[in-house]
């Protein structure tokens, strides 16, 4: 069964450093998403991406964040200068269509020290 994969599973970084979180969406999907979940809290939407551009983003997704689909299979989230409050689980998701089910990856746990 096809699934979304994410690497690394855990990333530890120093405050102010740049991090790149990587995702491989399900191969025939066209819509890609990043969400985050701070420990013990709800899953929160960050950004959606379709046709090589951002289609929607939340207030959390400020200019420190960027997304890219560098090739036909990877989808990345970059945080330029990490802050302590960026510590969270980051989930990538993909869907075949906008109104269809979003399938989530296992997540990357980001720890900012």
Q: Does residue 65 belong to the site contacting other proteins (CB under 8 A)?
A: no
| Neighbour count for residue 48 (Cβ, 10 Å) | 21
109 vs 39: CA distance, rounded Å = 10
Is 104 an interacting residue with respect to other proteins (CB under 8 A)?
yes
Among 2, 16, 18, 41, binds other proteins (CB under 8 A): 41
Q: Which stretch binds other proteins (CB under 8 A): 13-21, 66-74, 76-84, 99-107?
A: 99-107
Judged by CB under 8 A, does residue 94 bind other proteins? no
89 within 8 A of 41, measured Cβ to Cβ: no
Burial category of 58 from C-beta neighbours within 10 Å (exposed 0-12, middle 13-18, buried 19 and up): middle
**Using CB under 8 A as the criterion, which residues of the chain lie in contact with other proteins when the complex forms?**
4, 31, 33, 35, 40-45, 48, 50, 55-56, 58, 91, 98-99, 101-107
């Amino acid at each position: 069964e096809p699934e979304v994969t994410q690497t690394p599973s855990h990333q530890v970084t120093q405050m102010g450093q740049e991090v790149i979180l990587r995702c491989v969406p399900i191969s025939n999907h066209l819509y890609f998403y990043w969400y985050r979940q701070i420990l013990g809290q709800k899953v929160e939407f960050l950004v959606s991406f379709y046709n090589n551009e951002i289609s929607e983003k939340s207030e959390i997704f400020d200019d420190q964040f960027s997304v890219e689909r560098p090739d036909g299979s990877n989808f990345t989230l970059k945080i330029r200068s990490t802050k302590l409050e960026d510590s969270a689980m980051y989930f990538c998701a993909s869907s075949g269509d906008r109104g269809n089910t979003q399938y989530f990856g296992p997540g990357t746990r980001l720890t900012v020290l």
